[in-house]
Structure 1
Amino acid sequence: MYDAARDLASFVTASPSPYHAVAEAVRRLEAAGFTAQAEDAEWNTAPGGRYLVRDGTILAWRQPAVAGAAPLRIFAAHTDSPGFKVKPNPDTGAAGWRQVAVEVYGGALWNSWLDRDLGLAGRLALYDGSVVPVHIDRPLLRIPQLAIHLDRSVNQGLTLDAQRHLLPVWGIGKPTDGELIEFLADRAGVDAAEVAAHDLVTFDLTPPSTLGRNEELLAAPRLDNLASVHAGITALLDATERAPGTVPVFVGFDHEEIGSDTATGAAGPLLETVLTQLAGGFDARRTVFARSRCLSVDVTHAAHPNYLDRHDTDHLSIPNGGPSLKVNAVQRYATDAPGAAAWQRACRDTGVPTQTFVSRNTVPCGTTVGPIMATRLGIRTVDVGIPVLSMHSARELCGVDDPSHLAVAGAQFLSDDV
């Protein structure tokens, strides 16, 4: 169990942005013999492991010997996490401070980012069409909190204005247009004058660590949803070694935290394009899709001991109790009874414990890529995820056993031809 948690910690550390998460997934897939399938190239029909990348989204699968001969089993997660994205014109400041202009990405817990040492990661797009990765993994930015002496009521309620209060500082002096890009270009080994645009996010530099009396908990940034991406890649590699009764597929979408309505999000066409190829074409996919299943995997809320009034006490999820089946009457989660049975069977057959999460009637639940895929594809979909405390914080908390539980049950789901 600890080995899986340690490996997850390594994956998280290597993945400060969706682009880095994809690169780390590719590294692991290629080490297992997977090869790239370009979107604009002829489809490689030879049996074997393949992957396809567009920006912050990755798909990987085992190409069957005969397209459409076996049902598809899909493990879906997302590569992005809430935080702050650098604005196109980033250089700003006031009162002798150099600052970086950012905007909020997703539903971040803003206060959790205050007074933390932050790095920058993402990519620079050059005029020649190439893209260069950026990974500044040393303290570079900090969003300073106002001292309590200047706001005596702060402990009775912190109010933050996204435009005024969340700008990180990164130096002293008068800001100069272009200096952040010059700094990043220099470290990336490119000419700043050749940088046409950028996609950059802040990330917390505190490394993952185990904690607790028996080190039974894992604290880390971006568990939502890199814990699921890591488990999905692990499950796919395990499933490809089994008898070929199914076609296992993994997809890690970008942009889930902002609604998925993008070219590389779950509402976009990428997954449908790949699945149609694996099913043997548009005319053949109807029967294949009808026999297929999807596991939508995103973290769920662990029971918070200080706020039990926000939970349904008959459906609590506890760290190290196994991944939770996520159920919602109005289909904010896509789980139905046959899908739940498939998940329960995977857990029973592998000895993995599982729980059930249902939101309190007075507390609306979030949603996942599951309902989007189910609506777009018509494939039966079930939502699951490991319990996490402090979801959408700069630093989240899960049980050390649950990453392994999720990967083991996920591999069985991908291999289940019932």
Structure 2
Amino acid sequence: MREDLNQGLIDFLKASPTPFHATLSLAQRLEAAGYQRLDERDAWRIEPGGLYYVTRNDSSLIAIRQGRRPALDGGIRLVGAHTDSPCLRVKPNPELYKQGFWQLGVEVYGGALLAPWFDRDLSLAGRVTYRAAGKVESQLVDFQAPLAVIPNLAIHLNREANLGWAINAQNELPPILAQLASGERRDFRELLAEQLGREHGISADAVLDYELSFYDTQAAAVIGLEQDFIAGARLDNLLSCYAGLQALLDADGEESCVLVCTDHEEVGSCSACGADGPFLEQVLRRLLPEGDAFARTVQRSLLISADNAHGVHPNYAEKHDANHGPKLNAGPVIKVNGNQRYATNSETAGFFRHLCLENEVPVQSFVTRSDMGCGSTIGPITSSQLGVRTVDIGLPTFAMHSIRELAGSHDLAHLVKVLSAFYASRDLP
């Protein structure tokens, strides 16, 4: 089972270079399992025991297993994660020409570790909006092949490189796509129109706009002398999306279960399809009774916010509180913060710990050092938006927000097991 799950994650990561592709990949897997797509613009007819999903902006998804037991009696079991990861996004007018090279201007999306982006084989993917036969349409593209690179400056010309230096995102990050003859120019939108034709057989009159990101073409892999680790891009937080999906697909139809995978977490979640927007509440209000019954159902529900945790790094162990250094391959981590950067409280943490103990899943705790700032997740945002009780958890990870992150190869199976138990749990606290 562990090997199958890890390979499934690797395949999912390869198919999901952007939030748009991740959402499409989730939708395809749900449809293969019998889930029916809902359109927010249509009236919905929801049946007990029904399987449904809905997307917004092509980059966020909510999947619903409508329980045979009324949600007002048993509450809803929600698992939340996010589809986006820090990356380099192409600017609207990106063409740059320097020293005979064609480059594209980029902006940094989210809190990316920038140094690992140098000297990687990069490709390009995302959503393109175009006009064809008088209609405005959108389509996903993925060049797949390595077509760009951000070369480092040689140490001979930057003797201070190993002492650390500030990377100027404006000047040092534009990737190189090609070397051009003197006076030659390229049109980036023409390149996108050609890709639409190659990938989808679309003959576009004009490329109107796009949301495109560079990504590393090196595939994720299980690595290590004893195959102890998974290395790959976007583990934060597609790992949790995949674990939540697998747990949902394993669930039976007795209890109401929801998987929420939203975009824009890395930039604050404040969007129409982000956790700080109305997406989840609007969907739930269409599934549940109105008024008093809706509030009562929410209060009987519980959200597990699943987002990666900081594993204790052997070279930087001092960055952790000595009593709260999560180990890779030692199970999911309950994340706690007294200042509400995480939404965990003693009741929700106790329930999650109980689930782990009952299902023989190892469990750990994380609290950041008292002299360091703490990151956050969709947990506090969703909890404050919806009023639902929440526990923040995640799998230990190294190099979070790097172009290539590292997690334990045993931990995915641990997380799927406990999330499956959560979806099947009869009684919530």
Shorter-chain TM-score: what band? over 0.9
Q: Distance in 2 between matches of 1:149 and 1:190?
A: 48
- 1:74-126 deviation digits (Å, cap 9, x = unpaired): 00000000011111112222110011111100011000110100111111112
Root-mean-square deviation (CA), in Å? 1.4
Equivalent of 2:98, from 85, 94, 115? 94
Is 1:286 equivalent to 2:290 in the alignment?
no
Which residue of structure 2 lines up, in the alignment, with residue 126 of structure 1? 130
Equivalent of 2:62, from 42, 53, 59? 59
Which residue of structure 2 lines up, in the alignment, with residue 222 of structure 1? 234
8 A Cα contact 2:71 2:297, kept in partner? no
- 1:369-390 deviation digits (Å, cap 9, x = unpaired): 0000010111000000000000
Structure 1: any 5+ residue segments left out of the alignment? Answer: none
Equivalent of 1:175, from 185, 201, 208? 185
Is 1:112 equivalent to 2:116 in the alignment?
yes
Is 1:191 equivalent to 2:193 in the alignment?
no
Which residue of structure 2 lines up, in the alignment, with residue 166 of structure 1? 173
Q: Which moved more, 1:180-189 or 1:21-30?
A: 180-189
1:292-371 to 2 correspondence within 5 Å?
292-371=301-380
8 A Cα contact 1:64 1:278, kept in partner? no
Aligned to 2:44, what secondary structure does the other structure show? coil
Q: CA deviation at 1:277?
A: 2.4
Give the AA of the match of 2:192: I
Q: CA deviation at 1:37?
A: 0.9
Q: Distance in 2 between matches of 1:227 and 1:400?
A: 11
Which residue of structure 1 lines up, in the alignment, with residue 23 of structure 2? 22
Q: Distance in 2 between matches of 1:191 and 1:101?
A: 26
Q: CA deviation at 1:412?
A: 1.3
Identity fraction in percent:
42
8 A Cα contact 2:86 2:111, kept in partner? yes
Give the AA of the match of 1:14: A
Q: Distance in 2 between matches of 1:232 and 1:111?
A: 31
TM norm structure 1: 0.96
Aligned to 2:61, what secondary structure does the other structure show? strand
Distance 1:182 1:40, change over 3 A: closer
Q: Distance in 1 between matches of 2:185 and 2:310?
A: 41
Is 1:404 equivalent to 2:413 in the alignment?
yes
8 A Cα contact 2:248 2:257, kept in partner? yes
Q: CA deviation at 1:69?
A: 4.3
8 A Cα contact 1:116 1:142, kept in partner? yes
Which residue of structure 2 lines up, in the alignment, with residue 10 of structure 1? 11
Aligned to 1:140, what secondary structure does the other structure show? coil
Which residue of structure 2 lines up, in the alignment, with residue 415 of structure 1? 424
Which residue of structure 2 lines up, in the alignment, with residue 210 of structure 1? 222
Structure 2: any 5+ residue segments left out of the alignment? Answer: none
8 A Cα contact 1:92 1:175, kept in partner? no
Give the AA of the match of 1:125: T
Which residue of structure 2 lines up, in the alignment, with residue 36 of structure 1? 37
- 1:31-61 deviation digits (Å, cap 9, x = unpaired): 1111101101111222311000112000001
Q: Distance in 1 between matches of 2:94 and 2:205?
A: 16
- 1:244-272 deviation digits (Å, cap 9, x = unpaired): 1x310001000000110000000111100
TM norm structure 2: 0.94
